[in-house]
Amino acid sequence: MKKYLLIKILSLAILFIVLPIFIGTVSAASLKFDKTTVSTTNGGTFQIAVTVDPGSDALSSVDVYVSFDAVYLKATVVTAGSLFPTVSNDISTSGKVYIAGLVNDPASSISTAGTLATITFQGLKDGSATLSFDCNTSKIIKNDINASNVITCLQNGTSAVTIGSGGGNSANPTIAPAANTGASELPQSGIFDNVVKFAVPGAVLFLLGVIAKLMLI
């Protein structure tokens, strides 16, 4: 009788405690590009979309900083997407594109993934570069009283760009994938989320093993 009671308790723990935590960790807000690799010619242009995934949250606004190597690429145009009703942008000559999106009505929110904006880039010389999100300054703002920043840096995407014959990999530290895991508070939060993401499935498997062993006793 005690054996079956223990099995029931462990089963309920998986159902009501462990699994909801696991589901929450994989539904985090993040930024991505619609292409992970792009090729263009020297002097040619290409377009790449910046997408926002709110995860399980409802959003009121986003502030996105896209980093790139200005030696190899030039941002020429930013076209607003349909995810947010109001979108603004600013193109820097030092390898940054800033894009902001926000709702017009504070009572409304964005809860589905979609395109924030599309950026047109021009290749300046043969070589390789990386498009990434500066997670030290980018924000995904939840529609709550605290305007919480819910971005998960480690889930942000990057895009590898080849211009012409390629080669000459960019050494600009601002565009390297490590820019998503800087020493600020937000990247630390992302690291914690990533650890939990892998630890929880292990806990589930452990509990299932205990249950299976008890059933054989």
Taking the C-alpha atoms of residue 91 and residue 119, their distance in angstroms, rounded to an integer, is: 10
Higher-confidence position of 212 and 81? 81
Higher-confidence position of 8 and 197? 8
The answer on pLDDT for 44 being more than 90 is yes
C-alpha dihedral (194, 200, 205, 211), degrees to nearest 10:
180
The answer on pLDDT for 108 being more than 60 is yes
**pTM higher than 0.75:** no
C-alpha dihedral (82, 28, 180, 149), degrees to nearest 10:
80
The answer on pLDDT for 10 being more than 60 is no
Confidence (pLDDT) at 106: 86
Residue 209: CB partners within 8 Å, gap ≥ 6? none
Block residue for tokens 């589905």: 112
The answer on pLDDT for 172 being more than 70 is no
